[in-house]
């Protein structure tokens, strides 16, 4: 079983819809969870990060972590064509700040105008 | 947020030549930087962890002698692809951890080996 599983998509939704992106993981030591957005031929951009379980909201984005189920989600409200990108979940055990991060494969999202 | 730059953004070279890619943390210090490779429509693959003042730590399957990493200062790490071949063509991205443990990524370097 891979440490982080993420459906690669592509996921196509109409503009204005709510988007739900998810990842599952197997390592119970993971404490720090991140979502990155990557546009084509660009470096990943940090969208949100959360520590341990719970929800975090930032504008149209909401990140959820359920450690009991080893499941994390990113919700995008009022989706826009500019949200079309690849979204990567990432996580780390955070024993120290130089710990490497494990990435999911990324989900390609298309918002249809 | 913190800014990480990479240079060059794009490089085309002939097979057999060596290419150096620079990664800089512009407004913060980074004792550790990470180097990733990404093939089209694939996820990031961690190649190595660059440690300031000491040897890099390579992931399994990554050739140390082919991908030379030097982390000479707290703001600069370099990746040199030696004797590059067409199969080394890829998107190379570096990152550095911020104060809050999140990773900040550079814009990437697209390497094309002819």
pLDDT tens digits, residue range A35-66? Answer: 999 998 889 998 998 888 889 999 999 999 99
Q: CB–CB of B23/B76 below 8 Å?
A: yes
pLDDT of residue B98: 76
pLDDT of residue A98: 63
Mean pLDDT score, A8-22: 95
pLDDT at A74 over 70: yes
Residue B39 vs residues A24, A60, A72, A95: alpha-carbon distances, Å: 23, 30, 25, 29
Q: CB–CB of B75/B24 below 8 Å?
A: yes
* Residue A3 banded pLDDT, cuts 50, 70, 90: confident
Is the Cβ pair A98, B49 closer than 8 Å? yes
pLDDT of residue B1: 64
Question: Measured between CA atoms, how close is A45 to chain B, in angstroms?
Answer: 7
- Number of Cβ pairs < 8 A linking chain A and chain B: 53
Distance CA A67, CA A9 (A): 24
pLDDT of residue A40: 86
Q: CB–CB of B77/B69 below 8 Å?
A: yes
Residue ranges in chain B modelled with pLDDT below 50? none
pLDDT at A99 over 80: no
Q: Does B100 touch chain A (CB under 8 A)?
A: yes
């Amino acid at each position: 079983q891979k440490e982080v599983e993420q459906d690669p998509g592509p996921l196509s939704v109409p503009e204005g819809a709510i988007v739900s992106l998810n990842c599952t993981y197997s390592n119970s030591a993971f404490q720090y969870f991140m979502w990155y957005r990557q546009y084509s031929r660009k470096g990943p951009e940090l969208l949100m990060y959360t520590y341990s379980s719970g929800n975090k909201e930032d504008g149209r984005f909401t990140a959820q972590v359920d450690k009991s189920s080893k499941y994390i989600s990113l919700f995008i409200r009022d989706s826009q064509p500019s949200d079309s990108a690849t979204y990567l979940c990432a996580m780390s055990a955070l024993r120290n700040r130089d710990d490497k991060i494990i990435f999911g494969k990324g989900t390609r999202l298309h918002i249809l105008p | 947020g913190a800014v990480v730059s990479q240079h060059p953004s794009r490089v085309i070279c002939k097979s057999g030549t060596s290419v150096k890619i620079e990664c800089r943390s512009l407004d913060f210090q980074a004792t550790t930087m990470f180097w990733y490779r990404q093939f089209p429509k694939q996820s990031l693959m961690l190649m190595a962890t660059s440690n300031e003042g000491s040897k890099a730590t390579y992931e399994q399957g990554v050739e140390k002698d082919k991908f030379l990493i030097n982390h000479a200062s707290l703001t600069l790490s370099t990746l040199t692809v030696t004797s590059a071949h067409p199969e080394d063509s890829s998107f190379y991205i570096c990152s550095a951890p911020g104060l809050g443990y999140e990773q900040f990524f550079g814009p990437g370097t697209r390497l094309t080996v002819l």
